Chain A
Amino acid sequence: MILEALRLAKQAIMRNALRAFLTVLGIVIGVGAVIAMVTIGNGATAKVKADLERLGSNLLFISPGQFGPGRASSEAKPFNIRDVEALRSQLTGVRAVAPIAQKQTTIIAGSENRSTLVRGVDNEYFTAQSWELESGRLFTEPELRSGRALCIVGATVRKQLFGGADPVGHGMRVNKIACDVIGQLVARGQSGFGSDQDDVVIVPLRMLQRRIAGNSDIPSIYVAATPDADTAAIQRDIEYLLRERRTGVGGKQDDFTVRDMKQIAETQTATTTVLTGLLAAVAGVSLLVGGIGIMNIMLVSVTERTREIGIRLAIGALANQVMAQFLVEAVTLSLFGGILGTAIGLGLAWVTTGALGVPFDIDLGIIAIAFLFSGMVGVIFGFFPAQRAARLDPIEALRRE
Chain B
Amino acid sequence: MQETTPLIEFDAVEKVYGEGEAAVHALDGVDLKIQAGEFVAIMGPSGSGKSTAMNMIGCLDTPTAGHYRFAGIDVGALSRDQRALLRRNYLGFVFQGFNLLSRTSALENVELPLIYRGMPTKQRRLLAMRALQRVGLAQRENHTPSQLSGGQQQRVAIARAIVSDPAVVVADEPTGNLDTKTSREIMDLLVSLNRDQGITVIMVTHEADMAAYAGRIIRFVDGRIDPTVSQEAAQ
Contact = CB atoms under 8 A, between A and B. Distances in A.
Interface of A: 1, 4, 11, 15, 307-308, 310-321, 394-395, 398
A15 B103 contact: yes
Contacts of A318: 81, 84-85, 116
Interface of B: 55, 58, 60-61, 80-81, 84-85, 87-89, 91-93, 95, 99-101, 103-104, 112-113, 115-118, 160, 164
18 contacts: A4-B115, A310-B99, A311-B112, A312-B116, A313-B84, A314-B60, A314-B93, A315-B87, A316-B85, A316-B87, A316-B88, A316-B89, A316-B91, A317-B84, A318-B85, A320-B81, A394-B60, A395-B61
B61 A311 contact: no
A217 to B, nearest CB: 82
Contact of B112 (A11, A312, A319, A320): A312
A395 B60 contact: yes
A394 B60 CA distance: 7
B61 A315 contact: no
B55 A395 contact: yes
Contacts of A394: 60
Given A315-B160, A318-B84, A307 B99 contact: yes
B101 A311 contact: yes
Nearest to B91: A316
Given A316-B88, A395-B60, A395-B61, A311 B99 contact: yes
A315 B101 contact: no
Given A394-B60, A395-B55, A395-B60, A316 B103 contact: no
A11 B61 CA distance: 31
A316 B118 contact: no
A11 B92 CA distance: 25
Given A15-B103, A398-B95, A398-B99, A315 B113 contact: yes
B60 A315 contact: no
B202 to A, nearest CB: 15
B89 A314 contact: no
A319 B80 contact: yes
Contacts of A15: 103
Contacts of B117: 316
Nearest to A8: B115
Contacts, number: 55
A320 B118 CA distance: 14
Contacts of A1: 118
A312 B81 CA distance: 13
A312 B55 CA distance: 15
Nearest to B172: A398
Nearest to A390: B80
A321 B95 contact: no
In the A-B complex, the 6 residue pairs with the smallest Cβ-Cβ separation, listed nearest first, are A316-B88, A315-B113, A316-B87, A317-B116, A318-B81, A311-B99
A313 B60 CA distance: 9
B115 A314 contact: no
Contacts of A315: 87-88, 92-93, 112-113, 116, 160
Best-buried of A4, A311, A312 by chain B (most CB within 10 Å): A311
Contact of B84 (A310, A316, A395): A316
A11 B55 CA distance: 30
Nearest to A308: B101
Nearest to A310: B99
Contacts of A313: 84
Contacts of B85: 316, 318
A137 B61 CA distance: 97
Nearest to A321: B116
Nearest to A311: B99
Contacts of B60: 314, 394-395
Contacts of B81: 318-320
A1 B88 CA distance: 16
Contacts of B112: 311-312, 315
A228 B71 CA distance: 91
A311 B87 CA distance: 12
User: Which residue, A1, A4, A315, A316, has most C-beta atoms of chain B within 10 A?
Assistant: A316
Contacts of B93: 314-315
Nearest to B160: A315
B144 to A, nearest CB: 12
Contacts of B103: 15
Contacts of A311: 99-101, 112
A395 B51 CA distance: 10
A164 B116 CA distance: 72
A34 to B, nearest CB: 36
Nearest to B99: A311
A142 B89 CA distance: 104
Nearest to B85: A316
